Amino acid sequence: MIKPLLLWVGLLGLSPTLSAQTEPAARQAIGAATPYAAEFAAAYQQYPTVPRGVLEAVAYTQTHMRHISPNEPTSCTGMPLPSGVMGLFADGKGYFRENLRLVAKLSGIAEERIVEEPGSNIRAYAAAYAQLLEQLQLPADDVARHQPVLIALSELPLAPDEVNGFARGSHLYSVLSFLASPENQQRYRFPDYQLDLPAIFGANYRVLSAGSTEVSARGVQGGGQQFDPSGSTYSVVASTDYGPAITDLTTCNYSSRSGTAVTHYAIHTVQGTYAGCISWFKNCSAQVSAHYVVRSSDGQVTQMVTEANKAWHIGSENPYTIGTEHEGYVDDASWYTTAMYSSSAALARDIVGSGYGISGLRTFYGAATTGTFSTGGCVKIKGHQHYPNQTHTDPGVNWNWEKFYTLVNNAPTVSTLTAASGTVYDAGGAAGNYGDDVRQCQLIAPTGATSVSLTFSAFDLESGYDHLLVFNGSNNQAPLIGKYSGTTNPGTLTASSGKMFLEFRSDCATTRPGFAAAWSSTGGSTGCPTDSYESNGTLATAPAIGVNVNNVAYICPAGDVDWYKFTSSSTNNNLNITLTNVPVDYDMELYNAAGTLLYSSTQPGTTAESIVYNGAPAATYYVKVYGYNNNTSTSAYTLRVATQSVAWRAAGSALVAASSTAELERPAVKMTNPVAVGEQTWLTVTGYEGPAELGLRDTQGRPVGESTHAEFRAGQPLGYTLPTGLRPGIYLVRVQLDTHVQTLKLLVQ
């Protein structure tokens, strides 16, 4: 528990008499690189009872040691702005204590000078601090006992409620944590005061140091405990929305959403401190709030309003948004720490996974700017400045949106291509347009390569909205080679590291043909096993294979395609072509001698592929085996062409003989197209009656929703209801019949 704070009625009437002790010669000046180092050094010399480091700790907590001028942008929360390096308040808007007046009275320095001059601001605070130490008869070297002075000189209200108690505790925790840091002790040249923070804050230490907190009518919770400024037994309470958050829900400054669905998430900057913001949201006259507040130093999160309710943070856009305030100032990038980004992104991922339908891929990743501009409804996670009808410009030009996007979407699926050369395409493949809301990551990492070159033969992305990012290394944290959009061909790009990472992103609307590019490498080798059928990369070069025997080969390097040919007799004219021992996702197709596609099999993952063609005319046929999305492997696959005199029929996973002449027909499936979101598409089939399995895939071949079992009847269309929550775009409908699999392209509008 925090030691009892000494508060007194006559504080404002204290005499400005100051200590006149001299500076000990052994103490060293703060390093010249420290902001306002000379001013801090002069203040310590004039007021030696002020412990070294305290002024920097308060200044860092309040302003990150930056002189806040009257021209600073105002807060979108309406919270008043402080003044100077020490963050003193002249106007508390009837809520915060106006500590500028107190500091001026205790120091004898005019308020105007304190506001305008950084040196006067620091010196005045030091004078006030020394005066209070003397009045309270506190030992200068026992910083842990200086908590009453720190609170007396802060702007935070002295109200006895738990939230303001937590705000005051947060202020003390930030100041004392700064002083307890060995890194700060070395940088700012102050001694180790041996501060035992768990002992100083007692049971509340777990709440104050927790990763996140939540404010509610029940009090403040965090770290599995409830904050208790009075020292009573704490209780264990779970957060209602964001599990790690400390709960400190405000009792005012929010309202019902009145049935409006949450669809967006807003990023704000406080223009002030974490503790001040938490306290301000408890001020019922403020008429403002946000759902969460994030601390700069360690990323602690405090929840102020439940997500089910409407916080008052973004004016006309409140009903459909969740909002989070970030401690700091838009003009000072130092507040946007790694801890803050990581914590804020974890909170955003929690919101993405909470069933609101907010996709992490809809996070803004454009350039940080000053001013305001509306991105439109397509971008779901964005700054205050990106919403319509706004005047505030937070989080501003210093917020790293690309970094935040990467942290929110921190687990992408990456396809690794290890061949010495090959071809890459966008998510739509060689012939189709890419889809909406795509994030496609490909790592070109040829074995032993010292450099990789990528030459584009086609490039057509929606300009300004869909982008290809290319990095010189193994991931998207490597140096950026370039970010490309529109129709200007990037030409040839080179990664000197021997690895090239491609990240393709599309937004929620307007698709284009995409890109195609061939890569080559130097310094490495293919690393592919010997394949006796090579080269067989085209129909014209297909080698002959026998029937009813196993043929073992490899898809390697990436981009490799294997063609084979065989001949069907007039007696054994029922064909069953299987692809087994599939090491990665491979697909298979059957063609006639004219190059016309007859059948295809595109099972996902390492599922075996199978094509059945009953009653095949005696002729030469061609089988194509290829890696889905350029998949490759140094492990072998097995291709077998089986023929027999009676027809094959699928029964579960096995194939058995059948004799019905109807089964010798080649079924053909047709489908109504396009279809609106939430409606049905209708399928008809000729030459077939019986069971079917219907499944939906995205343009990258990934299943969307569960498969559906159905039954085709002669002359009757079959309705296929699309999975719920489907977004507009291009999809593939996979129809599994007893005889073969057919894949149809579907446009969902």
> Which pLDDT tens digit goes with each residue over 179-237?
999 999 999 999 999 999 998 888 889 889 888 888 776 778 888 888 866 532 222 22
Q: Tell me, yes or no, whether 188 lies in a domain.
A: yes
pLDDT band at 524 (very low <50, low <70, confident <90, very high): low
Q: Dump pLDDT digits (tens) for 133-163.
A: 988 788 898 999 899 899 989 999 887 788 8
pLDDT for 230 equals 59
**Residue 696: which CATH number?**
2.60.40.1930
User: CATH number for the domain including 237?
Assistant: 3.40.80.10
pTM of the predicted model, to two decimals? 0.50
Residues 97 and 224 in one domain: no
For 604, the domain range is 539-663
Q: Among 408, 428, 462, where does a domain finish?
A: 408
- Phi and psi angles of residue 179, each rounded to the nearest 5 degrees, phi first: -70, -25
User: SS3 for 367?
Assistant: coil
**Is residue 526 over pLDDT 80?**
no
Number of Cβ atoms within 10 Å of the Cβ of 674: 12
> Which range is most confident: 411-415, 480-484, 557-561?
480-484
Token pair 């209708």: residue: 682
Query: Both 277 and 239 in a single domain?
Result: yes
pLDDT tens column, 374-391: 998 899 999 999 999 999
Q: Would you say residue 24 lies in a domain?
A: yes
Does residue 129 belong to any structural domain of this protein?
yes
Question: Taking a C-beta distance cutoff of 8 angstroms, is the pair 178, 192 a contact?
Answer: no
The pLDDT, as a whole number, for residue 373 is 92
Identity at 416, one-letter amino acid code? T
DSSP-derived 3-state class of residue 368:
coil
Q: What is the pLDDT of residue 86?
A: 97
Closest listed residue to residue 394, CA positions, set 271, 501, 502: 271
Query: What CATH number should be reported for the domain holding residue 440?
Result: 2.60.120.290
Query: How many contiguous H segments (helices) and E segments (strands) does the chain have?
Result: 13, 37
Same-domain check for residues 515 and 577: no
- What was the pLDDT predicted at 241? 72
> Residue 530: inside a domain, yes or no?
no
Q: Is residue 3 part of a domain?
A: no
- 690-697 sheet: strands from edge to edge: 561-567, 620-627, 586-592, 597-601, 741-748, 729-736, 690-697, 708-712
Same structural domain for residues 354 and 380? yes
Q: Is residue 184 part of a domain?
A: yes
What's the pLDDT at 76?
87
Whether residue 35 is found in the same domain as residue 71 = yes
| Dihedral Cα 724, 729, 730, 734, nearest 10 deg | 0
> Which of 110-114, 269-273, 449-453, 674-678 is predicted least confidently?
674-678
Cα angle, residue 472 at apex, residues 469 and 476 outer, rounded to 5°: 50
* Residue 502 token pair: 């491609």
Choosing from 522, 550, 578, the residue where a domain stops is 522
Asked if 625 and 603 count as a contact pair (C-beta separation under 8 A), the reply is no
How many domains are contained in the chain?
Answer: 5
Is pLDDT of 460 > 90? yes
Let me know: does 582 contact 602? Beta carbons within 8 Å: no
Residue 701 CA from chain centroid, whole number: 23
533 within a domain of the structure (yes/no)? no
Same domain, residue pair 323 and 188: no
Q: Give bridge partners of residue 639 from the DSSP assignment.
A: 551, 579
CA distances from 148 to 11, 156, 157, 162, 186 (A): 12, 13, 13, 18, 26
pLDDT, residue 525, reads 58
Task: Write down the pLDDT at residue 249.
Answer: 83
For the chain, report the end-to-end CA distance as a whole number of angstroms. 60
How many residues in the chain?
749
- 153 and 34 within one domain: yes
- Digit-coded pLDDT (tens) for 623-656: 999 988 778 888 899 999 998 888 876 433 333 3
Q: Which of 125, 122, 116, 218 is nearest to 166 (CA)?
A: 218
- Residues 327 and 245 reside in one and the same domain: yes
What per-residue confidence (pLDDT) applies to 432? 87
Judge if 376 and 419 occupy the same domain: no
* Residues 420, 467 share a domain: yes
Same domain? For 320 and 446 the reply is no
In this structure, is residue 325 part of a structural domain? yes
User: What is the pLDDT of the chain when averaged over all its residues?
Assistant: 85
Q: Are residues 657 and 696 in the same domain?
A: no
Tens digits of residue pLDDT in 685-717: 887 888 888 888 876 666 787 778 788 887 788
Contact in structure between 515 and 460 (CB atoms under 8 Å): yes
- The lowest-confidence range among 238-242, 327-331, 636-640 is 238-242
Alpha-carbon span 619 to 528, nearest angstrom? 33
Average pLDDT rounded to a whole number, residues 153-178: 90
Query: Domain with 637 in it: what CATH number?
Result: 2.60.120.380
- Split at pLDDT 50, 70, 90, the class of 352 is confident
**Domain final position from 632, 663, 694:** 663
